[in-house]
Structure 1
Amino acid sequence: MLNALEVVTTVSVGLMVGVEFSVAFVMNRIFNALPEDSDQLARAHGGRMLGAVMPYWYISSVVLVAIRAVAGWHHPGTGLAVIAGALLIVSVIMSILLLVPINNRSKTWTPENRPADWKEQSDRWDRFHYLRVAILIAALTLLVTSLV
């Protein structure tokens, strides 16, 4: 049973990290290469789409890692899983405090109603997102390491 939990947890966290990595290093670069209005419209659509899904994915990943840590408490590597869970919690707090406020504003923007500093706000979101991706990669690395 613990093995199945570890597989489900690793796949869930791994896919989430992959999506966030893709946003940072693939999608945003594609969006930035589009003409100005298209860039902003793509980011707004992405913010609406992923903004609806990611909170549940983040919380379920934290819960899965916590369940794995409790279920495997006496197994080697549990300490690494606990640290991975703590990093996931940091990423959730960081998201709520730093990224979600920007995302909530930007997902409603259109070329007609966006603020003059929309690009600076998008760049700020990107910088925070890079940091979040680094934290998520560290969490995934620790989680996988806890299993071997």
Structure 2
Amino acid sequence: MPEEAVTTLRAELERFGRAEEGFALLEVFLEVARPRLGTVVLDPVGLHLPEGMTDDRAVVQGLIEELERAPREKGRVVERAYDMDDEQARWDYVRLAYSSSQATVWSRRGRTTYFEASGRSRATYWLPDSLKSNYFEALTSCGWAIPPDWLTAVAKRPKPWWKRGGR
């Protein structure tokens, strides 16, 4: 059975009028995708508040400080996982994902990345058609505007496994 076509959507905070809009879109995505989600992690080292963040700035700074105080294994950076069935954990993850140097949302099967924020300046969704459709419906019903370029983004079929790679 061929894999679903996947749409790539750019999601850097600078694309939105306010950082909180980007947070809201990620929050809706995590709620919609929850039955399909596998591991949801971020790198807790060197967290930094996004420049455009206005609401909840002090609360998120408190989360960052709490993570910085947590003991770490010497010489090893361990990604921090978040339970998406826990509403508070989802809220924390959404705000910290854009503060982290690396945050990733994996599919249940662990082979597909659904969302990644990296280097505090890049963020991308990779959505299979069925998930994209559900996500866009949820955004619309919540009253959030879908970025125009997301509406016109073209889905592409993944390459077969034997054609993937750097060769």
* TM-score calculated relative to the size of structure 1: 0.29
Which structure has the greater CA radius of gyration?
1
* Greater helix fraction, Structure 1 or Structure 2: 1
- Is the strand fraction higher in 1 or 2? 2
**TM-score, scaled relative to structure 2:** 0.26
